[in-house]
């Protein structure tokens, strides 16, 4: 699907793939543009794994980097051939192992002056109901650290300044951070501080009610407060049936072998050195359950494995329809750049500059940035000067539905802007969670869609039936919303 998006939107792309044609595997990178509507390769750089700071084995990298040879090729591509491009897109072709952890944005954004956006491998574009920018922030700071409260207050201030539609924030933090933040934010009307002492009772109450969202299949949930399920249940319970449009998760990270995990306090209400570990699928499930179309990962100062956080954000972002961000708190300690990124996806129409900061990487649908791709943006240091002239190659008729074969367009839907709850101040959690579910099922259907004339009729009939079922489910949700 990523390649279809590139072709449909005629994106200037840095495509990176594994090259196994030689005896020693290498990394092949090519810079491709669409100068007259057809793809053309402008630069090609093939280098061994070691040039990227990667090893041929499965051990996590400790010094991933972007080679200077590739950096020179990208600068040449942008300055000579695609100087009017508003953004360069990064396509990491699976399987790509640890290449997702390389500091692509940190290296290329300052050198080119262009945003670098990662191409997701997922459709349809995520629906994002609601008017107010509601965000849940889950933060677990390591014992003995002091950065968390200052970061939260500055990030919330930046959000309020950047998001024109208003911000409604829910904070779920460890006890030490909570106590400090209480003193700093006790008079903020649109900031809800959730008491960590409620976490254990919320977890047990949801177990007693047999709420299934965060349980492992085939195994009963434990009532012990030593699981990331406790955080998930606390967040879901604390939101009290209301959806949020964004979920921001900040925690240290580790590797379990080759699998990246977030390390959170085993019980947010009890200061302790004990950790529980959350996998990428659990974080994504939480985002879907609370209805968040936007998911952002924060890598805190002193993170034992920033590489693990980057790999988790990259793996999740590739497979989500909604925007996914990674934020390096070392480079963005006040959360300003991340707040601007949230403001970009919150704006309707999107008149904010495309996220462009070395502290970030972003997975965004091309449709999310189509307004910005046509706009002239002033140089932030020279307001009288235009630094991007925008793109004219993108057609107004280019939509995600054009990428969907035949009857599957019904599964994608007509877009949240036409739906009854799109402009509501707050949206029930079940509505937004239903959107996430339908998007996921529709994406699965599109990924394996039958091709008329090539695929057996039985598979085509199955696809049509599934598309019809999703369309009817969407209509049912809309009717229930109108009745409520």
The tens-digit pLDDT sequence of the chain (484 residues) is: 788 888 888 889 999 998 877 777 789 999 998 887 889 999 999 998 888 887 766 667 777 899 999 999 999 888 876 666 678 999 999 887 788 888 999 999 999 888 999 998 876 566 666 678 999 999 999 999 999 999 999 999 999 999 988 899 999 999 999 999 988 876 677 899 999 999 999 888 877 776 655 554 434 334 344 466 899 999 999 998 888 999 999 999 999 888 899 999 999 998 888 889 999 999 998 998 888 989 999 999 999 999 999 999 999 999 888 899 999 999 999 999 999 999 998 886 666 778 889 999 999 988 777 665 544 333 334 344 333 333 323 333 344 444 444 444 444 444 444 444 555 566 666 666 667 666 666 666 665 555 555 666 666 666 667 677 767 666 666 666 665 6
- For 351-382, letters b (16+ CB in 10 Å) and e give ebbbbbbbbbbbbbbbbbbbbbbebebeeeee
Query: Tokens 């791709």 identify what position?
Result: 373
- Report whether 40 contacts 34 (CB < 8 A): yes
**Cα(211)–Cα(320) distance, rounded to whole angstroms?**
24
**Cα(310)–Cα(64) distance, rounded to whole angstroms?**
11
Identify the bridge partners of residue 476 per DSSP, sorted by sequence position: none
**Cα(154)–Cα(341) distance, rounded to whole angstroms?**
15
**What Cα–Cα distance (Å) separates residue 209 from each residue in 108, 212, 287, 443?**
50, 9, 21, 31
Identify the bridge partners of residue 167 per DSSP, sorted by sequence position: 133
- Report whether 333 contacts 318 (CB < 8 A): no
The fold for domain 133-348 equals Rossmann fold (3.40.50)
Spans of all domains in the chain: 2-118, 133-348, 400-483
- CATH code that applies to domain 2-118: 3.30.420
């Amino acid at each position: 699907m990523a390649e279809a998006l590139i072709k449909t939107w005629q994106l200037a792309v840095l495509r990176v793939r594994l090259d196994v044609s030689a005896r020693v595997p290498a990394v092949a990178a090519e810079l491709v543009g669409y100068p007259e509507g057809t793809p053309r390769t402008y630069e090609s750089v093939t280098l061994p794994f070691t040039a990227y700071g990667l090893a041929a084995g499965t051990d996590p990298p400790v010094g991933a980097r972007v080679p200077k040879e590739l950096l020179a090729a990208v600068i040449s591509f942008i300055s000579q051939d695609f100087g009017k491009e508003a953004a360069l897109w990064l396509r990491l072709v699976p399987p790509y192992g640890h290449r997702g952890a390389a500091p692509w944005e940190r290296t290329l954004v300052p050198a080119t002056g262009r945003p670098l956006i990662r191409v997701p491998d997922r459709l349809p574009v995520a629906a994002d109901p609601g008017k107010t920018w509601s965000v849940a922030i889950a933060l677990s700071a390591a014992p003995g650290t002091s950065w968390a409260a200052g970061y939260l207050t500055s990030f919330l201030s930046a959000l309020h300044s950047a998001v024109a539609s208003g911000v409604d924030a829910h904070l779920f933090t460890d006890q030490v951070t909570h106590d400090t933040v209480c003193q700093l934010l006790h008079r903020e009307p649109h900031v809800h501080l959730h008491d960590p002492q409620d976490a254990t009772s919320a977890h047990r109450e949801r177990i007693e009610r047999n709420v299934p969202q965060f349980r492992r299949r085939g195994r009963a949930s434990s009532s012990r407060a030593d699981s990331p399920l406790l955080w998930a249940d606390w967040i879901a319970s604390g939101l009290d049936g209301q959806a949020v449009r964004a979920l921001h998760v900040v925690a240290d990270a580790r590797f379990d072998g080759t699998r990246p995990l977030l390390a959170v306090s085993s019980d947010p209400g009890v200061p302790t050195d004990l950790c529980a570990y959350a996998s990428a699928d659990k974080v994504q499930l939480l985002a879907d359950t609370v209805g968040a179309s936007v998911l952002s990962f924060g890598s805190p100062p002193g993170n034992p494995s920033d590489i693990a956080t980057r790999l988790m954000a990259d793996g999740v972002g590739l497979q989500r329809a909604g925007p996914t961000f990674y934020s390096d708190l070392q480079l963005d300690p006040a959360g300003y750049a991340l707040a601007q990124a949230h403001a970009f996806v919150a704006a309707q129409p999107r008149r904010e500059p495309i996220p462009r900061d070395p502290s970030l990487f972003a997975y965004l649908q091309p449709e999310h940035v189509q307004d910005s791709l046509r706009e002239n943006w002033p140089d932030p240091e020279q307001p009288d000067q235009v630094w991007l002239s925008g793109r004219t190659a993108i057609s107004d008729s280019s939509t995600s539905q054009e990428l969907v074969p035949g009857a599957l367009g019904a599964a994608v839907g007509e877009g949240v802007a036409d739906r009854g709850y799109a402009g509501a101040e707050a949206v029930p959690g079940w509505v937004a969670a239903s959107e996430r579910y339908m998007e996921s099922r529709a994406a699965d259907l599109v990924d394996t869609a039958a091709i008329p004339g090539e695929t057996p009729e039985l598979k085509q009939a199955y696809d049509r039936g599934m598309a019809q079922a999703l369309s009817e489910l969407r209509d049912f949700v809309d009717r229930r919303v109108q009745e409520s």
